[in-house]
Amino acid sequence: MKDACMNSKERVLTTFANQVPDRVPVNYSANQGIDRRLKEHFGLKPDDGEGLRRALRVDFRGVGAAYRGPVLHKDIPERGIMVDNWGIHRRWIEHATGGYWDYCDFPLRDADEETVSKWPMPSPDDHDYSQIRTMCRDHGEYACFVGGPGIGDIINSSGMLRGMEQTLIDLISEEPAGLLLAKRRTDIYLEIMRRTLETAEGGIDFLYMGEDLGTQIAPIISLELYRKTIRPLHRKFVDLAKSFAIPVMIHCCGSSSWAFDDFIDMGINVVDTLQPEAKHMAPEYLKQNFGGRLAFHGCISTAGPVATGTVAETETYCRKTLDIMMPGGGYCFAPTHSLQDNSPTANVLAMYETARKYGNY
């Protein structure tokens, strides 16, 4: 075992460089139900996210510029619809163990190019960058990132406004309205990311972006179509990060390893999510085919033993994943997506305790 002398920032950046840290870095994401139960378990207040991250020994912290501009799209309370500043419509759907915000209406589904060009979107000028340096300083010992799974993605976010079917048709047919929507979102987020990175003055350690490219059994689109329509937009975010000399992590759900060589070629350093149930996404497959060329973040299934098994099964499963992914470095322990509300609190605690006990080098 290495001396435990690294702070979180050093630990994550060492891992992202495919080198061996003192222990496996740990990350956390959860739906609101399990998040609330975990805070109750640790005796934390409902709004004490930092306290929970510390209790779980999370090595990552996100920073970002808050939107301070006008409300661009109104909610529809009579239908229970929440509408964000991109115009995405969501409604709350209850289920047996909690609930989630589901996308609906798809207001740009039938929009033409002119309508998309005039659709109100948040301006980079209406974001508050003044607190970025303070955030980075306050989280100086942690790996600070800007962005998230919804940054740079085309299929998901365009789908939230145009519907998934129309979005895929847009990509295949090069429909001008759909391509313009993707370009407008990309340009806005690129400028927000650029201003945030400039203001941080070196305090941000990596850029986090996303694009879901797979179902559980196959790619959503072909590699040829990815290279033609999406990769050029992704490349802009990668090039931005490289201009600030920081690595890039991409969130990519489902069977997505078919695109990993392109990620590597573009300069992406880390892949996130890594759903082990999906085709060609098992930890053994990823480590054998991409180990040393990509770092990995995820692999702990939110649909596996953590959600459906016992505490003992959860520990066995997490320990097996660590045994496969840890050798040689390059692995961050994290759920494949947000931990779901159907996960027993005891299982989630066992998950993080297993990382604490067995994640040391």
Residue 248, strand partner residues:
207
Question: Residue 138 domain-assigned?
Answer: yes
pLDDT of 341 higher than 90: yes
Q: What is the pLDDT of residues 67-83, one digit of tens each?
A: 999 999 999 999 999 99
Mean pLDDT, the chain, as a whole number?
Answer: 97
User: Which pair of tokens denotes residue 273?
Assistant: 């999510």
| Average pLDDT of span 160-187 | 98
Question: Residue 244 domain-assigned?
Answer: yes
Please give the pLDDT value at position 4: 61
Question: Residue 83 domain-assigned?
Answer: no
- The domain tally of the chain equals 1
pLDDT of 2 higher than 90: no
| 5 against 137, higher pLDDT | 137
| Average pLDDT of span 344-358 | 98
Q: What is the CATH number of the domain that holds 23?
A: 3.20.20.210
Q: What is the pLDDT of residues 10-64, one digit of tens each?
A: 999 999 999 999 999 999 999 999 999 999 999 999 999 999 999 999 999 999 9
Question: Residue 119 domain-assigned?
Answer: no
Q: Which is nearest to 23 in space by CA: 62, 55, 58, 53?
A: 58
Question: Residue 92 domain-assigned?
Answer: no
Please give the pLDDT value at position 42: 98
Report the share of the chain in percent with pLDDT over 70: 99
For residues 162 and 106, is the Cβ–Cβ distance under 8 A? yes
Report the share of the chain in percent with pLDDT over 90: 97
Q: What is the spatial distance between Cα 159 and Cα 225, in angstroms, rounded to a whole number? A: 17
Write the single-letter amino acid at 76: I
Please give the pLDDT value at position 5: 85
Check residue 100 and report its DSSP letter. E
Please give the pLDDT value at position 11: 98
Considering the entire predicted model, what is its pTM? 0.97
Question: Residue 100 domain-assigned?
Answer: no
Question: Residue 165 domain-assigned?
Answer: yes
Q: Is 300 helix (H, G, I), strand (E, B) or coil?
A: strand
Q: What is the pLDDT of residues 80-90, one digit of tens each?
A: 999 999 999 99
| Average pLDDT of span 106-113 | 98
Q: What is the spatial distance between Cα 159 and Cα 108, in angstroms, rounded to a whole number? A: 9
Q: What is the DSSP string of 278-338?
A: STT-SHHHHHHHHBTTBEEEEEE-SSSHHHHS-HHHHHHHHHHHHHHH-TTS-EEEEESSS
Which strand ranges, in their side-by-side order, compose the sheet holding 331-335? 60-63, 143-147, 206-210, 248-252, 270-273, 295-300, 331-335
Please give the pLDDT value at position 1: 45
For residues 32 and 97, is the Cβ–Cβ distance under 8 A? no
Question: Residue 153 domain-assigned?
Answer: yes
Query: What domain range includes position 250?
Result: 8-65+124-358
| Average pLDDT of span 321-326 | 98
Q: What is the pLDDT of residues 242-297, one digit of tens each?
A: 999 999 999 999 999 999 999 999 999 999 999 999 999 999 999 999 999 999 99
| Average pLDDT of span 221-235 | 98
